[in-house]
Amino acid sequence: MDARTVARQLELLGTPERAKNSAWFFKTGPGQYGEGDIFWGITVPEQRKIAKTYKDLPLGEVIKLLHSPIHECRLTALLIWVSQYQNGTATKKLAIYKAYLANTRWVNNWDLVDTSAHKIIGPQLGPNYKSTLTKLARSSSLWEKRIAVIACFYYIKLGDPKPAFYIIDILKYDQNDLIQKAVGWMLREIGKACSREILLGWLLTNQQYTKLPRTTLRYAIEHFDQADRKAFLSGRA
């Protein structure tokens, strides 16, 4: 059982048409956030099946798979790690967490981050989140910043918005669209999983909502009713 075998199984499932569509969807053109990424054209359900089949792939082989230039190989590697983390011993979880942080260079698209960060980084950090998440949030890497934001989804689902607000305060004015969307998404989830009042309080304090990037605000208030969304977007909330 090795990374090469997994890659061969994945390659057999690809189609040129899906590969072309994925390359467009994940912005792989010159100057775009996914520039140079390569797709075989494999659906996510198919990748999940492969990940389940190879759920016991050794750590070193998962890392080899993660280092692949093929997007679907990297996603499958992360799916395997998520499964192994969720079902692993404390020792296994720590090893996966450390390997993940040592290999963020290859967790390099939004679907890769969103599939894994809140299922590996958040749970492992627990209440001691500030040092690691701050380092990620202040990184020059777009994807490490997004990892910091999405890792907070773990806490939000537990009803604790504090880690998310802590990281959001670092990144709330970031100019990258993918960070703005991630921040807005976490704000929206705070309103859903914690309470609407907590979200409103944060948005309204010092009229903070008027200073947020438009993309962030739109995501944050997505589930408000039409009148409230209009009030926030017009600056009259």
Q: How far lies 120's CA from each of 13, 38, 117, 125, in Å? A: 27, 25, 5, 9
> Cβ neighbours of residue 50 under 8 Å, at least 6 residues apart?
6, 9, 10, 13, 76
Task: Identify whether the C-beta of residue 39 lies closer than 8 Å to the C-beta of residue 22.
Answer: yes
Provide the 10 A C-beta neighbour count for residue 66.
Answer: 23
pLDDT confidence of residue 229: 93
- What amino acid is encoded at 178 in this protein? L
Residue 166 scores a pLDDT above 90: yes
Q: Identify which has the larger pLDDT, 126 or 175.
A: 175
Can you read off the two tokens belonging to residue 17? 């048409």
In Å, how far from its chain's centre is CA 113?
3
Q: How far apart are CA 165 and CA 163, in angstroms?
A: 6
Q: End-to-end distance of the chain based on CA atoms, in angstroms?
A: 58
The CA radius of gyration of the chain, in Å to the nearest whole number, is: 19
Q: What are phi and psi of 12, to 5 degrees?
A: -65, -20
Q: What percent of the chain has pLDDT over 90?
A: 96
- pLDDT score at 1: 79
Token digits of residue 42: 């494999």
pTM of the model: 0.94
Is the confidence at residue 126, as pLDDT, over 90?
no
pLDDT mean over 135-146: 98
The predicted pLDDT at position 182 comes to: 98
The predicted pLDDT at position 237 comes to 84
User: What are the structure tokens assigned to 166, written together?
Assistant: 């802590």
DSSP letter for 152, please. T
Q: Is the pLDDT of residue 206 over 90?
A: no
pLDDT of 104 > 90? The answer is yes
Distance of CA 72 to the CA centre of its chain: 16
Tokens 């989140």 — which residue?
129
Residue 223 has pLDDT above 90, yes or no: yes
CB burial of 20-51 (b: ≥16 within 10 Å; e: otherwise) equals: eebbeebebeeeebbeebebbbbeeebbeebb
Q: Express each pLDDT in 54-89 by its tens digit.
A: 999 999 999 999 999 999 999 999 999 999 999 999
Rounded CA separation 122/209 (Å): 26
* Confidence (pLDDT) at 179: 98
Residue 142 pLDDT > 90: yes
Tokens 């520039």 belong to residue: 35
